[in-house]
Amino acid sequence: MIHAMHPPTQHDTWSMMKDALARACDDFQRATEQAVRLRTLLESQSADEVARAAEPHDGASYLQVLERTCTALADMRAAYHAVGQTIVARTAVATTPITVPREP
């Protein structure tokens, strides 16, 4: 017997989005740890070795892609921060204050 699929409820949608953000957060944490290790490695290498990161390969350098990634992450951070602020403002309820560290 085949059962008809029902569209997800709003609760289902919020739950799926929350789970996706939680997984993304875990991925971001791992990526942050990798970036810290990479910086430590770069600090121990010669300037010639580090300069390779700025050399284009297949059209772009690691440094160029890194800069694009940082811009995209900053834009994403601002967008999600705005989502959180909208939820707080529209509900006048916050279980945890939304604080965003200032960039150095």
Alpha helices in the chain (DSSP H): 10-44, 47-51, 62-91
What pTM was estimated for this model as a whole? Answer: 0.73
Q: What is the band of 89 on the pLDDT scale with cuts at 50, 70, 90?
A: confident
94 in Cβ contact with 88 (< 8 Å): yes
Residue 50 counted as domain residue? no
Identify whether residues 77 and 40 lie together within a single domain: no
3-state secondary structure of 32: helix
- The pLDDT score that the predictor gives to residue 95 is 59
- The tens digit of pLDDT for each residue in 42-79 reads 999 999 999 999 999 999 999 999 999 999 999 999 99
Residue 100 counted as domain residue? yes
Looking up tokens 């951070």 gives 77
Residue 8 counted as domain residue? no
Task: State yes or no: pLDDT of 94 exceeds 60.
Answer: no
Identify whether residues 41 and 65 lie together within a single domain: no
Identify whether residues 70 and 41 lie together within a single domain: no
Identify whether residues 39 and 75 lie together within a single domain: no
Q: Which domain range does residue 20 map to?
A: 15-45
Residue 95 counted as domain residue? yes
Structural domains of the chain, count: 2
